[in-house]
Amino acid sequence: MTTPVRTQRADATRNRELLLAAAEQEFAEKGLEASVADIARRAGVAKGTIFRHFATKEDLIAAIVGGHFANLTAVARELLEADEPGAALLELLTVTADNLQQKDLTFLQSVTAQDSQVIALRDELYEAISALVERARTAGAVRPDLTGTDVFVLMCTPVHAVGFLSDPAPDVWRRYLALIFDGFRPEGATPLPRPAPNWP
Amino acid sequence: MTTPVRTQRADATRNRELLLAAAEQEFAEKGLEASVADIARRAGVAKGTIFRHFATKEDLIAAIVGGHFANLTAVARELLEADEPGAALLELLTVTADNLQQKDLTFLQSVTAQDSQVIALRDELYEAISALVERARTAGAVRPDLTGTDVFVLMCTPVHAVGFLSDPAPDVWRRYLALIFDGFRPEGATPLPRPAPNWP
Amino acid sequence: MTTPVRTQRADATRNRELLLAAAEQEFAEKGLEASVADIARRAGVAKGTIFRHFATKEDLIAAIVGGHFANLTAVARELLEADEPGAALLELLTVTADNLQQKDLTFLQSVTAQDSQVIALRDELYEAISALVERARTAGAVRPDLTGTDVFVLMCTPVHAVGFLSDPAPDVWRRYLALIFDGFRPEGATPLPRPAPNWP
Amino acid sequence: MTTPVRTQRADATRNRELLLAAAEQEFAEKGLEASVADIARRAGVAKGTIFRHFATKEDLIAAIVGGHFANLTAVARELLEADEPGAALLELLTVTADNLQQKDLTFLQSVTAQDSQVIALRDELYEAISALVERARTAGAVRPDLTGTDVFVLMCTPVHAVGFLSDPAPDVWRRYLALIFDGFRPEGATPLPRPAPNWP
DNA sequence: AATGAATGAGGATTCATTCAT
DNA sequence: AATGAATGAATCCTCATTCAT
């Protein structure tokens, strides 16, 4: 019998989802300059509605970025249970690249660099990745000097590399992921010239 | 009697250089949103003057991007004469990263993707890199399946990776360049899941 | 069975009072730009509720302004019974200024200039003041050429004058009320250059 | 032969004047909410032009307010040379009221309360008024306890009083100026209940 | 060639008001 | 009756670009 209350919220929640989806599309197509008006139009709501859900364009972006971090964290945590630590790590990178390939919103992070919510979510992802890396290291699947930070900062690389091509096949990133992952392996590893940076 | 003409040209050339330098600084500091007005101010010229030299903000960006491609091409060509092909390739990547570390203007490329001038210069760089890679490949310094395109698209990676850190030491990129270059080596190379993409 | 109805009415009345009080506070703090949303928030009701009680922001303002006129009218009428007509008039001005000092909402009148309800209440106040002035005039406590209109329009002056100071002591208005009231006195009165305006 | 340079400036200066005039009209008619767009339209220039001359709506307002202070200061200083100190003070109040009657922009001061430029100009006016008051006091034309601050804060009173009337004759303010000035006179002065406030 | 004033489209955000629940 | 979500007009301001001098 609480339905009436929920019903209203259902509408709002739906709009929120519509807005987030529309915003992701617009940002993916037009970059940071995607206008709030266009996002609203694509979501099929009035310009004002967007500000009821996200007080600021920045807040909207934070919601998007945070959401993506959270999704990835969930994946990473699940993979902590996987049998083969090396394969698990590779799988995380594969999922990440796959997501990115379909909609690269990495550039949104520049806007949310100071947002504490986003930072918290990003740190959670970092923790999960670190655990995954440690397992792989212990199992001898990756070189002993590889850290979670290393993997975190190189995670988007395969897709970004593909971005320099004009009309790339949809999964060339797999080539670059493999290439980079080969650099993670113990075989043929040369000593690294600098220590791994600390996590922010 | 030609002196005055020459003087004017010298002035104009000088202004052009001032503008390019100022623009690079502004773009590096503020990203694509750096305003023409700010660039003019930093260059110490009037806003109108900028449009005499570059009909469009895009043209200005194209000049910057093209310039950087040309610089790198020169370096690459010089390195074709080097003794050790593998070291030469690594050196090119080192120089590239070093430049980028000081002023990353990669994001400007998104604007000039269609500019034929820029494309031509970019292609020249590609050719030089390809030659460098072929030499290294022949010398057995890099894996046999590595192509010029591969190197081209991965070239900015070490610096971009560092971009995910908040307060990175100024040369952490060396760590990531080494890591990625380890992936280029023949030792421990696994078969790549996709063929190298054709050059655009 | 009438209880529920009464309860509802009591609730509604209470909400109305809450809203008026909250609105006064907001307007006093933020001026005309105080938003309906802020008023609702301060009153602890939903934005929609405000429009059930007052169809329009203007109506809300009219209710406030009218209320203040009514309050003052009550005071003025009571003072008509006072012993000393001059002191009674001064007392009215004192009460007025004291109210204003705590919460000056005079500026709201600009919005309600056409509202017939407010006009009616304002006219009642005018009548009461006129009577007070006439008594004082008859008693020789104020100059013979002073009218109710004169007093009405000068009534807010002491507080408004203080408004030009940055950090006034809370009762400096008493100085200015005294100064102005000295101008009302018969002693030292010079002939006034224009006749008193008619009441609107 | 410096004409070319000046010519350009002449245009700009003209626009500046047009804008200030248009802004005063708009503000006088619509209050603080007068929109920048409307001001531009009335001035016959594009919306952007207004921001070249006044970086901010606030800056525009500051220019208006400051200008009015400066004008009045000039008048006040001239009156310091007048023969009859009492008449000189009355004349200043007359000029002030006359200006205000035609275009009351007092309410703009609330916006510029923090603007140091405006504060400086306001303080100059205060000094000039104070000197005028002191002369009048010395000459016995006004009561001994009257200060410059008193006059400053009461200066707009006559016109503001008239503002409570719906359709006032254009110079009723003269009546109220006379009434208030009678309160300034030594004759019939009663002791004031509070000391004069210090100048901010 | 250079200047800097003018243009006007476009952007983020606010807010009174309406309306479905 | 109350809620709070949605609306969309209106606002201030920015900026690439044009143009008179």
What fold characterizes domain A61-189? Tetracycline Repressor; domain 2 (1.10.357)
DSSP string spanning A185-196?
Answer: SSTT----SSPP
Answer yes or no: is pLDDT of C5 > 80. no
Amino acid whose CA is nearest the C1' of E11? A35
From CA D157, how far away is CA A113, in angstroms rounded?
54
Q: How far is D162 from chain C (nearest CA, A)?
A: 7
Amino acid whose CA is nearest the C1' of E6? D49
CA A170 from centroid of its chain's CA atoms: 18
DSSP state of C190: P
Backbone angles phi, psi at D103, to 5 degrees: -155, 100
Backbone angles phi, psi at A80, to 5 degrees: -65, -20
- Subunit contact A188:B186, Cβ cutoff 8 A: yes
DSSP state of C110: G
DSSP string spanning B36-93?
Answer: HHHHHHHHTS-HHHHHHH-SSHHHHHHHHHHHHHHHHHHHHHHHTT-S-HHHHHHHHH
A71: helix, coil or strand? Answer: helix
From CA B42, how far away is CA B49, in angstroms rounded?
13
Nearest Cα to Cα of residue B159 among B100, B75, B82: B100
Strand stretches in D26-89, DSSP E: none
Q: Give residue D86's pLDDT.
A: 97
Q: Give residue C4's pLDDT.
A: 47
Cβ contact A184:A192 at 8 Å: no
From CA A18, how far away is CA A12, in angstroms rounded?
10
Amino acid whose CA is nearest the C1' of F19? B48
Q: Give residue C7's pLDDT.
A: 56
**Residue whose entry in the numeric block shows the structure tokens 């040309």:** B70
Q: Which residue has the higher pLDDT, C104 or B8?
A: C104
Q: Which of A162, A168, A180 sits opposite B183 (nearest CB)?
A: A180
Cβ contact C194:D169 at 8 Å: yes
pLDDT tens across A3-31, in order?
444 456 778 899 999 999 999 999 999 99
C vs D: CB pairs below 8 A: 130
DSSP state of B200: -
Cβ contact C49:C69 at 8 Å: no
**Residue whose entry in the numeric block shows the structure tokens 């306001």:** D122
Max distance between CA atoms of chain D, in angstroms, equals 66
Establish if B46 touches chain A: CB-CB under 8 angstroms.
Answer: no
How sure is the predictor about C102, in pLDDT bands with cuts at 50, 70 and 90? very high
- Report helix, strand and coil shares of chain A as percent, to nearest 5: 70, 0, 30
Residues A39-68 have a mean pLDDT of 97
Residues A31-40 have a mean pLDDT of 96
Answer yes or no: is pLDDT of D50 > 60. yes
Q: Give residue C3's pLDDT.
A: 46
Residues 77-96 of chain A in contact with strand F via CB under 7 angstroms: none
Q: Please give, one letter per residue, the 3-state secondary structure of B126-157.
A: HHHHHHHHHHHHHCCCCCCCCCHHHHHHHCCH
Say whether the CB atom of A48 is under 7 angstroms from strand F: yes
Residues A74-80 have a mean pLDDT of 98
The answer to whether domain D1-54 and domain D61-189 are alike in fold is no
Domains of chain B: which residue ranges?
Answer: 1-54, 61-189
Q: Which residue has the higher pLDDT, B85 or D11?
A: B85
Report CA-CA distances (Å) from A73 to A89, A155, A183, B163.
13, 13, 24, 21
Helices in C116-172 by DSSP H: which ranges? Answer: 116-138, 148-154, 157-162
Q: Give residue B8's pLDDT.
A: 60
Residues 156-185 of chain A in contact with strand F via CB under 7 angstroms: none
Torsional class of C188: left (φ above 0), alpha (ψ -120 to 50), beta (otherwise): left
User: In what helix (H) or strand (E) does residue A55 lie, and over which residues does it extend?
Assistant: none
CA-based radius of gyration for chain B: 19
Q: Give residue D144's pLDDT.
A: 98
Cβ contact C182:D189 at 8 Å: yes
Establish if C28 touches chain D: CB-CB under 8 angstroms.
Answer: no
Chains in contact with chain C (at least 3 beta-carbon pairs closer than 8 A): D
Nearest Cα to Cα of residue A22 among A8, A41, A48: A41
Q: Give residue C188's pLDDT.
A: 86
Report CA-CA distances (Å) from C4 to A106, A118, C8, C11.
58, 50, 6, 10
Nearest Cα to Cα of residue B188 among A117, D196, A178: A178
Name the closest nucleotide to B12, judged by C1' and CA. Answer: E1
Lowest mean pLDDT among B74-78, B95-99, C9-13, D86-90: C9-13
pLDDT tens across C155-175, in order?
999 999 999 999 999 999 999
Mean pLDDT (chain B) is: 94
Q: Give residue D160's pLDDT.
A: 97
Sign of the alpha-carbon dihedral angle for C92, C98, C102, C106:
positive
DSSP string spanning A126-157?
Answer: HHHHHHHHHHHHHTTSS-TT--HHHHHHHTTH
Establish if A194 touches chain B: CB-CB under 8 angstroms.
Answer: yes
Is residue B83 classed exposed, middle or buried when 0-12, 13-18 and 19+ CB atoms within 10 A define those classes? exposed
**Tokens coding C57:** 């922001």
pLDDT tens across A81-105, in order?
999 999 999 999 999 999 999 999 9
Answer yes or no: is pLDDT of B14 > 90. no
Q: Give residue B7's pLDDT.
A: 55
Answer yes or no: is pLDDT of A133 > 80. yes
**Tokens coding B129:** 């890199």
Residues D85-90 have a mean pLDDT of 98
Q: Give residue A122's pLDDT.
A: 98
Distance A47 CA to E15 C1' (A): 13
Q: Give residue B9's pLDDT.
A: 66
Please give the share of chain B, as a percent, with pLDDT higher than 90. 90
Residues D76-99 have a mean pLDDT of 98
Answer yes or no: is pLDDT of C8 > 80. no
pLDDT tens across A169-187, in order?
999 999 999 999 999 999 9
**Residue whose entry in the numeric block shows the structure tokens 């392996």:** A185
- Subunit contact B157:A157, Cβ cutoff 8 A: yes
**Tokens coding B119:** 């494309």
Q: Give residue D188's pLDDT.
A: 86
Q: Give residue D11's pLDDT.
A: 83
Answer yes or no: is pLDDT of D5 > 70. no
Nearest Cα to Cα of residue D118 among D56, D69, D76: D69
Please give the share of chain A, as a percent, with pLDDT higher than 90. 92
From CA B36, how far away is CA A74, in angstroms rounded?
44
CA torsion angle C46 C47 C50 C51 (round to 10) = -130
**Tokens coding A150:** 């290393």
Residues D140-148 have a mean pLDDT of 98
Cβ contact B24:B105 at 8 Å: yes
Nearest Cα to Cα of residue C161 among D176, D153, D162: D153
From CA D163, how far away is CA D33, in angstroms rounded?
19
- The crossing angle, in degrees rounded to 10, of helices D85-102 and D116-138 is 140
Backbone angles phi, psi at D129, to 5 degrees: -65, -45
Q: Give residue D6's pLDDT.
A: 47
**Tokens coding B126:** 């590609």
Q: Could you confirm whether domain C1-54 is CATH 3.30.470.10?
A: no
Establish if A120 touches chain B: CB-CB under 8 angstroms.
Answer: no
